Structure 1
Amino acid sequence: MARGEWLHNGRCSYKRTTLIVCSVNIIVALYVLRSLCTSLYIYSGDYRTVKYTPNQIRKMEEANQIRKASEPTELVKLVTRLKRNFVNEERAVELPQHLRQKLVHEILDRLRSLDSAANVTEQREAVESWREEKIKEVQELNRGEYLNSTILPEEARAVARALSSDWSDFSEEIGLWIPLQIINKEHDDKPEGEDEFEEEILPGTKLPPECHGELHTDYDGAAVRWGLTHHKESAYDCCMSCLDHAKRAKPGENKCNIWVYCPSETGCYSPDIYEHKNQECWLKYAETPKLNFKDTYPESYRDSHPNAPVIVPWVSGVMSV
């Protein structure tokens, strides 16, 4: 009887213990679940629901007032006004296409008026003389003193800027590149009458006679060295590269006998699909070298190729190898 009571009491104690443990587990699980839900709510909730104390709000307002007071508002307004005026001025002096073409034709007419044997120095002087005359014409037009001008009064400002402060960009755009003349007065011991053609025009070492350099010239031929990936510091280096290629060519290979170089800092025009950059050096071969263009692009060619400049920007040479 005692044994049965003990078993009965043992079973009750076991059930009671199991029930307590399960209850505790359920309570812990609910607590963990509640904690997870609270965390998700905090991370995904709207931060605007955060409430600040009056003291915190007052400090934030004071900080905003200090920040606004320290802003250079007058300076910002001045810079904004200057930018707006600068943009308006840029738009106001933009050179229209028809006016650009008019100036280009006048430059061509001035060049055509020269003797056919005129060298590049004489061409430069002729263009500079035209530019000075045109600037003077525009100045007189602004004062109402020039009555026979081909330029309208409302175009005078754009022309004046193109021929003065923007002359370098304008001349480069139309292909009239004129590198600085190199003059060494301290060691001016050159024999009288010696040709100074290349030295006064092209930067770098003077081209030797065997290079047969020709300014504003583009020769045709089969490329033996692709200029897009072959750059040289000067026309002299390009010519030397052609001579070196001819010496190293294997039997049966085409030997370079034409070099074409781009001296213009803004690149050189070509009717192909590529963008030709400064210092490109093309090595070519042709059994009978043929000119592509010389001095200027014909007017008929520029009519069908609107992007072509007036002056041929390339420098070339045909050598006997």
Structure 2
Amino acid sequence: MLVKALESDWTWLLEDMGLWIPAEIHNTEHHDKPEGEEDDLDEILPGRPLPPECHAEVHTDYDGAAVRWGLNHHKDSAADCCQACLDQAKRAKPNQKRCNIWVYCPSETGCYSPDIYEHKLGECWLKYAETPKLNFKDKYSESYRDHHPSAPLVVPWASGIVGA
């Protein structure tokens, strides 16, 4: 029976066993939130609530020059990361760049970035840009993921612009 199953198409054997396996699988993202309802950042980002001046955006990665390298600067929450940005901006000397962008990794499995580093939960990047620009927002495009096969579908980072 096994030889017969291996030599033929498996459909008859699967049907006899009462097993159905789809020929193709299409992964889709489900949107089960009612239309018009906003995401509650407190439910998405763990830790203490973010103050309004943090202008938090989930699934967002802003570009900018690092005023504090995130690989060795970890915080317990996005709110703590934002506060570190606000504090750095207050303490910066006149010739130093003042933090106006914070980028935090809230994912327990780490956050994707197209560099050589392994970005971990709690990384807190403090950045400066005269005119803040997005690196990525919401999802990585299909063409981007074609060129970066390890990129996830959704941008894992949380970011905000302060002092804007």
User: The TM-score by the shorter chain falls in which range?
Assistant: 0.7 to 0.9
> What's the CA shift string for 1:242-284, capped at 9, x where partnerless?
0000000000210000000000000000001110000000000
* Structure 2 residue 97 is the aligned partner of structure 1 residue 254: yes
Aligned residue for 2:85, secondary structure, equals helix
Moved segments of 4+, more than 3 Å: 117-120
**For 2:132, what is the secondary structure of its paired residue?**
strand
Which residue number in structure 1 is paired with residue 20 of structure 2?
A: none
Is 1:212 the counterpart of 2:131? The answer is no
Structure having the higher helix fraction is 1
* Structure 1 counterpart of 2:110: 267
Could you state the TM-score of these two structures normalised by the residue count of structure 1? Answer: 0.41
Deviations 1:17-44 (A, max 9, x none): xxxxxxxxxxxxxxxxxxxxxxxxxxxx
Alignment of 1:195-206 (within 5 A): 197-206=40-49
1:285 matched residue in structure 2: 128
Mapped to 2, the partners of 1:251 and 1:316 lie a distance apart of 25
1:95 is matched with: none
2:88 equivalent among 234, 239, 245: 245
The letter for the 1-side match of 2:103 is: V
Out of 41, 66, 70, the position equivalent to 1:227 is 70
Unaligned 5+ runs, structure 2: 1-23
- Tell me, in whole angstroms, the C-alpha distance in 2 between the residues paired with 1:308 and 1:119: 26
Q: Does 1:236 align with 2:155?
A: no
Q: What amino acid is the match of 1:245?
A: Q
1:119 aligns with 2:45: no
Amino acid at match of 1:119: E
SS of the residue corresponding to residue 228 of structure 1 reads coil
CA apart distance, 1:119: 3.2
Deviations 1:166-188 (A, max 9, x none): xxxxxxxxxxxxxxxxxxxxxxx
Higher relative contact order (CA 8 A, sep 6+): 2
Aligned residue in 1 for 2:140 = 297
| Post-superposition offset of 1:203 | 1.3
| Helix, strand or coil at the partner of 1:289 | coil
Equivalent residues in 2 for 1:149-228 (5 A)? Answer: 197-228=40-71
Q: Tell me, what secondary structure is at the counterpart of 1:288?
A: coil
Of structures 1 and 2, the larger Rg is shown by 1
Question: Counterpart amino acid of 1:255?
Answer: R
Letter in 2 for 1:277: K
Flag structure 1 segments of 5+ consecutive residues without an equivalent: 1-97, 121-196
CA RMSD across the alignment: 1.7
Q: Per-residue CA shift, 1:94-116, capped at 9, x if unaligned? A: xxxx95xx31xx22xx45xx96x
More strand by share: 2
Q: CA deviation at 1:320?
A: 1.0
State the AA in 2 paired with 1:311. Answer: V
Distance 1:239 1:232 in 2: 10
Q: Pairwise mapping of residues 1-40 of structure 1 onto structure 2 (< 5 A)?
A: none
TM-score (norm. length: structure 2): 0.80
Residue 319 of structure 1: aligned partner = 162
CA gap 1:318/1:312 in 2 versus in 1, 3 angstroms:
same
